[in-house]
Amino acid sequence: MGTHRKIEIMDTTLRDGEQTSGVSFLPSEKLQIAKLLLEELKVDRIEVASARVSKGELEGVQKITQWAGERGYLDKVEVLGFVDTPASVDWLVEAGAKVMNLLTKGSLNHLTHQLRKTPEQHFEDIRSCVNYAKSKGITVNVYLEDWSNGMRNSMDYTMELIAFLNEISVRRIMLPDTLGLLHPREVTHFVKLITTEFPDCHFDFHAHNDYDLSVANVLEAIYNGIAGIHTTVNGLGERAGNAPLESVIAVLKDFTDYRIGLNENKIFRVSKLVEQFSGQHIPANKPVVGENVFTQTAGIHADGDNKRNLYFNDLLPERFGRQRKYALGKTSGKANILKNLQELGISLEPDELTKVTEKIIELGDKKERVTTEDLPYIISDVLQNNSISKNIFIEGYHMTHSKGLKPTVQLKMSIHGKPYEEHSSGDGQYDAFMRALVKIYRSQGLQLPKLTDYHVSIPPGGKTDAFVETVITWDYGKIFKTKGLDSDQTVAAMMATEKMLNIIDKMSHSAPDRVNLKELKNQNPEQNKENFYGNEYSASAR
């Protein structure tokens, strides 16, 4: 392969990428993506639209060309046009564009059955269109639509078309694998044949990903003389999409010595914007830009990274504006947790680290998604559990919540080894739980504290499966708080309440003169009622 040859990257997210089913960019969105591609990522060229599609498409191109003209990028903005002199060219002129990518028939099959013309007729139509475009100040590149089938089934025609385009001096000849049907050996054979026959021509290669071979085919095309590559951000495009820009950048930088002028540390930023505008979610395992691709899950990997970066490769996340993460879950182990603690600046004692690890594994077994943002909440919950001796347990519960009916709870508890069971209804699930709890404690002549505050929060960036931390403030002669952590808000509140029961159990044993429920009932029944289910339940608790 040649040394230090410059490879052009032409990104067609705004044209071919928009052919993804369900994707349609607004004119303002197209402008924002164009700005990022040219100014931040610094791709060589962008293809932004097809001529004559709609008024909205015209408006979008006009926005881009006006901006590009002011910034000196107009020769980098390209529009797909058709052999329909003068319609497409006139549309480009109205749009303010200066470069047309002319779509011609690269296979005899397409020419014969779609256009129903002879090669000679098609060549003359192309000549007329190119001459007219040049007369209007438009530079012309030419697509050979269905080129891959042309090389397979009508090579004489396809080679004749390339020779004709070379004669009329178009700027670039673009070879699309329109149906994504080529494998790397075919790309090597066909591209080498063409670049050897026409060594002075600039050829682009345009890969589709139907067999998941687009990046491999791009690499073979580059090795065999192709001067430009077409991509889309996140691999958007018709059917299985196009060669993804993010993967092509990584492959060219790491497996070739060719020059590309792209600023790869901006790719993740551009990728996320295109994800938002397109509505097409990036798969979590997508190379370079997927959520999980720089996340180590297995604890042995984190341990190896701690010792000598044993599980690193050249795809370092910092290259792409990202950071390596260490997943928290049932396979993570202490090494992953240590990595996350270092990031947060937290240090735990060995026994505390063991308990945090056990909690994370327990949550991972439930298939809960544990994140770095969850870790302080988990640590806080574990440390508070650590400090409380437990003689009282919530053994089981059954909750219902139906429209038009009050929520109900059936509650099973263990107090110093003795089982209790009660049910109740309430204004909310937690209120129903508390009323059932009151019945159990009333039967034992025990007093509960007053609930004075109830606060719910989720870790920053939490999603629908995020953990919920419930912090409840209690008044039992002195003010104290308990915390509960779960993916369900009511269960988190119940966990906080269980901690409270164990704390007051210890208080009661250390203060034998504390007033009990029977004394309160004898003194003032109405006061007793308020202590249990009056003002202590705020609206948020219900």
Residues 31 and 115 in one domain: yes
Is 60 exceeded by the pLDDT of residue 323? yes
Residue 7 vs residue 309, higher pLDDT:
7
Work out the angle between the directed axes of helices 333-344 and 375-386 (0-180°, nearest 10): 110
The whole-number pLDDT of residue 326 equals 56
Binned at pLDDT 50, 70 and 90, residue 369 comes out as: low
What local confidence, expressed as pLDDT, does residue 366 receive?
A: 62
Same domain, yes or no: 318 and 268: no
Instruction: Please report, rounded to a whole number, the percentage of residues in the chain having pLDDT higher than 70.
Output: 81
Helices and strands, number each (H, E), in the chain? 19, 16
In a domain, 18, yes or no: yes
Q: Are 442 and 479 found together in one domain? A: yes
- Encode pLDDT of 106-149 as tens digits: 999 999 998 899 999 999 999 999 999 999 999 999 999 999 99
Residue of 18, 47, 57, 145 marked active site: 145
- Ramachandran region, residue 520 (left: φ > 0; alpha: ψ -120 to 50; beta: rest): alpha
Q: What is the pLDDT of residues 450-471, one digit of tens each?
A: 999 998 887 655 554 557 888 8
Q: Of 178-182, 365-369, 378-382, 408-412, give the lowest mean pLDDT range.
A: 365-369
Question: Which residue in the list 15, 45, 322, 435 is annotated as catalytic?
Answer: 15
Of 245, 278, 311, the one marking the end of a domain is 278
Residue 513: the pLDDT is 43
Q: What is the CATH number of the domain that holds 180?
A: 3.20.20.70
Which of 278, 306, 331 terminates a domain? The answer is 278
Domains in the chain, number: 3
Evaluate whether 108 touches 150 at the Cβ level (below 8 Å): yes
| Distance separating alpha carbons of residues 446 and 457, to the nearest angstrom | 31
Question: How many CB atoms neighbour CB 69 within 10 A?
Answer: 13
Active site residue 145: yes
User: Which of these, 345, 347, 387, 407, lies nearest to 483 by C-alpha position?
Assistant: 387
Token pair in block for residue 197: 């026959």
How would residue 360 be classed by pLDDT, with cut points 50, 70 and 90?
Answer: confident
Q: Would the pLDDT of 81 be above 70?
A: yes
Whole-angstrom distance, CA of residue 211 vs CA of residue 203: 23
> Which has more confidence, 443 or 333?
443
Is 505 within a domain?
A: yes
Span 481-497, pLDDT tens digits: 888 888 788 999 999 99
Evaluate whether residue 287 is within a structural domain.
no
pLDDT number for residue 196: 97
Q: Which amino acid is at 277?
A: F
Boundary (domain end) residue, out of 278, 306, 337: 278
| 354 and 322 in a common domain | yes
Is 470 part of a structural domain of the chain?
A: yes
Higher per-residue confidence, 325 vs 154? 154
Residue 298: per-residue pLDDT: 39
Of the pLDDT bands very low, low, confident and very high (cuts 50, 70, 90), residue 310 is very low
Give yes or no: residues 21 and 153 share one domain.
Answer: yes
Least trusted range by pLDDT, from 204-208, 222-226, 370-374: 370-374
Under DSSP, the state recorded for 38 is: I
The answer, yes or no, to whether residue 37 has pLDDT greater than 50, is: yes
Query: Between residues 290 and 147, which one has the greater pLDDT?
Result: 147
Contact predicate 346/374, CB 8 Å: no
pLDDT at 537: 38
3-state secondary structure 404-433: CCCCEEEEEEEECCEEEEEEEECCCHHHHH
Q: What is the mean pLDDT of residues 97-108?
A: 97
Q: Based on the fold, state whether residues 227 and 361 are members of the same structural domain.
A: no
Please write the tens of the pLDDT for every residue from 198-216: 999 999 999 999 999 999 9
Same-domain pairing of 310 and 400: no
Whether this prediction's pTM lies above 0.85 is answered by no
Q: What is the mean pLDDT of the chain?
A: 84
Same domain, 377 and 397: no
Task: Note down the domain range covering 426.
Answer: 392-509
Position 300 scores a pLDDT of 38
**pLDDT of 488:** 85
Indicate left, alpha or beta for 170 from its phi (over 0: left) and psi (-120 to 50: alpha).
Answer: beta
Is residue 284 domain-resident?
no
SS3 content of the chain, % helix, strand, coil (to 5): 45, 20, 35
Q: Does one domain contain both 398 and 377?
A: no
Q: Does some domain include residue 531?
A: no
Q: Domain containing 397 — which CATH number?
A: 3.30.160.340
Residue 118 shares a structural domain with residue 228: yes
Question: What is the model's pLDDT at position 458?
Answer: 77
Pairing relationship of beta strands 418-425 and 408-415 according to DSSP bridges? antiparallel
Residue 126 placed within a domain:
yes
Residue 221 lies in a domain: yes
Pick the closest to residue 130 from 62, 163, 82 (CA basis): 82
Single-letter code of the amino acid located at 359: K
The token pair that represents 485 in the structure block: 């952590």
Kindly tell me if the per-residue pLDDT of 195 is higher than 60.
yes
Do 187 and 308 lie in one domain? The reply is no
267 and 123 in one domain?
yes
